[in-house]
Structure 1
Amino acid sequence: MADPLACGDLIADRRYVYGKAAADDRDWAAAAEIFEQAAEQAPRWAPAWFALGDARENLGDLDGAAEAFRSTLAADPSDALGAAARLTLIGREEDTGALPKAYVARLFDDYASRFNAHLCGELNYRGPAVIVEALGLVAPARRFATALDVGCGTGLMGEAVRERVNRLVGVDLSHGMIARARERGIYDALEVAEATDFLERSAPGAYDCILAADALCYFGDLRPLFQACKLALAADGIFALSFESFEGEGFRLRETRRFAHAPAYLEATAREAGFRPLLMRAASIRREAARDVPGLVAALEAH
């Protein structure tokens, strides 16, 4: 299958480069005009349409931006650029249930080489630490036979919990992240897969602990994931997670293209799936623009 993000047309590619230069200078009118030329030259090239949508959005032309983002989706139905999320953010589509697999995989493949330095340095990421602290409160003396690290990334969560686990499994959508995690040598098994798909293929009761550090931000509707977690957990197994929160109802896609969830929504979804909340408390796990992002840490018990 041809790569939908590859151009193959030298004229369109050159136009695109000129357009990016104009966008870098924040000359959105010039950028929009040039990207439109690139899209006309290569109408099945998703990046040209996506860049045109971004330029039009910056000009305040939301209808034009929506048209370009929809053309992006037509050129690349896998949505590796996240056009559906942009349609949501400009108010032209309802919140999606989750970010596209192709988008998340591409995002983290590109991010893998600088992930640890950026996350732990600039963003002061502390998801694994707050989850380990939560486990210490709800199960202080418990050692887990088999744990699954959902969205394991480069292995920060795995490293934090390794001493409490006999067998540690990691799953992530990104080949680049899994490669970095493999270099750490702390996992007994690693697999490139989407979390819900992986859990649904797991044997019932395969794990007595499931961990999700900063992974829920790529899911809007949590019901499929929580139901899959419940089936894959042994009776009295623990699902420990951190998530971005907001005061309101349900879930919403933030400008950062990450989902935040209302605490009441998460608790109701957990109970519906068959979990008993052992702990839910405020715990910001990262910073953005020099401010703590509102968040919670939770420990849920399967029953």
Structure 2
Amino acid sequence: MQPHQLSSGDVIADRRADYARMLEEGGEPEAAAELMEQALELVPAWAAGWYRLATYLEKAGRGEAAIEAYRRTLTLDPDDIFGAALKLALLGDAATPDLPPSRYVERLFDDYADRFESALVEKLDYSVPQKLAALIASTGRRYELAVDLGCGTGLLGPEIRANVGRLEGFDLSQNMLAKAAEKHVYDGLAQADLSLAPDLSGVFADAGRHRADLVTAADVLMYLGNLESVFAIVGELAASGADIAFSVEDAGEGDGFHLAPSLRYAHSESYVRMLLARHGLEILKTVKSVIRKDGGKPVSGILFLTRKPA
């Protein structure tokens, strides 16, 4: 279990929860759920415990019981650091939220930071930074200021650093930013929530209004559903004539976005094109490509290179 889930505050409940986890890992989700229910009898206000119970029930095929457990999780944890609302949407109990809970995304990547690069690059064949950097390089431009939105551990930074005068990175996770800082590639790093409308009196003021001539978002937008807030932020940061490069997971046909079982969002090309037109951004190039693996299967994505007209 991760640090935020380590203890229920009851030694016996924790022991039962540990046994339940071992049962689930051994392919016995029904038995795991039964033992987890016993643990929760001792600590009924343990939000993390209810979330774990819900996942075991879901794997055991007990959908209605899982829904009740996810609801209980959400009641006990209104900030929803476990993403219970996303699970309820996938199970058909709630509408798909436009955006995931910010605390869920922050917790997800804070927990994931130490193993992020080894898991993503070495095991999942993640290739977006190299492919996005190649798109950017195709312009033949040198950029005075690049802003890397959702920079994570800084995988894109080294790929574009040679053609950038100043490179600034923003991310929701402090632990991911700490990893990015270790690369000594970024000139500035700061915490920011891309799901919020831009507030230039706050953190984005340091990036400067209409000052960046390159804005990037590599493998970030799949953690947001409705992309209006991101393009609003881009519009504030980008100078006239700036290039904007980003990737999405490909939702295929349709005019919108959907929530995948991975708890990431996929966006249709037509939806992204509609938003780009609304925000006055010109599409220079698009590339459809496999961007990673998930569960051993390829995940299709779309890379966009766009420009804010001069």
> Which string of whole-angstrom CA distances, capped at 9 and with x for unpartnered residues, describes residues 272-301 of structure 1?
122121112212221234443111110121
Q: Distance in 1 between matches of 2:121 and 2:60?
A: 35
Q: Distance in 1 between matches of 2:288 and 2:42?
A: 51
Cα gap change, 1:28 to 1:118, in 2 (>3 Å): closer
Identity %: 36
Residue aligning to 2:121: 120
**1:168 aligned counterpart, secondary structure:** strand
Residue aligning to 2:280: 274
Match of 2:270 among 261, 264, 273: 264
Q: Distance in 2 between matches of 1:36 and 1:89?
A: 23
Residue aligning to 1:144: 143
Residue aligning to 1:171: 170
**Distance apart, 1:242 and its partner CA:** 1.2
Give the TM-score normalised by structure 2. Answer: 0.91
Equivalences, count: 299
Counterparts of 1:34-73 in structure 2 under 5 Å? 34-73=35-74
Is this contact kept in 1: 2:195–2:224, CA < 8 A?
A: no
**Distance apart, 1:245 and its partner CA:** 0.2
**Distance apart, 1:199 and its partner CA:** 4.5
Give the TM-score normalised by structure 1. Answer: 0.93
**Distance apart, 1:4 and its partner CA:** 7.1
Give structure 1 stretches of 5+ with no counterpart. none
For structure 1, which segment, 96-105 or 254-263, has the greater mean C-alpha deviation from structure 2 after superposition? Answer: 96-105
Q: Which segments of structure 1 move beyond 3 Å, counting only runs of 4 or more?
A: 3-6, 196-200
Residue aligning to 1:23: 24
Is 1:299 the equivalent of 2:305? Answer: yes
For structure 1, which segment, 248-257 or 288-297, has the greater mean C-alpha deviation from structure 2 after superposition? Answer: 288-297
Residue aligning to 1:237: 242
> Which string of whole-angstrom CA distances, capped at 9 and with x for unpartnered residues, describes residues 162-192 of structure 1?
1111111111111221111111111111012
Q: Distance in 1 between matches of 2:103 and 2:261?
A: 19
For structure 1, which segment, 67-76 or 88-97, has the greater mean C-alpha deviation from structure 2 after superposition? Answer: 88-97
Q: Distance in 2 between matches of 1:196 and 1:274?
A: 20
Aligned-partner residue type, residue 272 of structure 2: L
Is 1:12 the equivalent of 2:13? Answer: yes
Is 1:213 the equivalent of 2:214? Answer: no
Aligned-partner residue type, residue 285 of structure 2: L
Residue aligning to 2:104: 103
**2:97 aligned counterpart, secondary structure:** coil
**Distance apart, 1:38 and its partner CA:** 2.1
Q: CA RMSD of the aligned region, Å?
A: 1.8
**Distance apart, 1:197 and its partner CA:** 4.1
Q: Distance in 2 between matches of 1:77 and 1:169?
A: 33
Give structure 2 stretches of 5+ with no counterpart. none
Cα gap change, 1:300 to 1:107, in 2 (>3 Å): same
Q: Distance in 2 between matches of 1:210 and 1:198?
A: 16
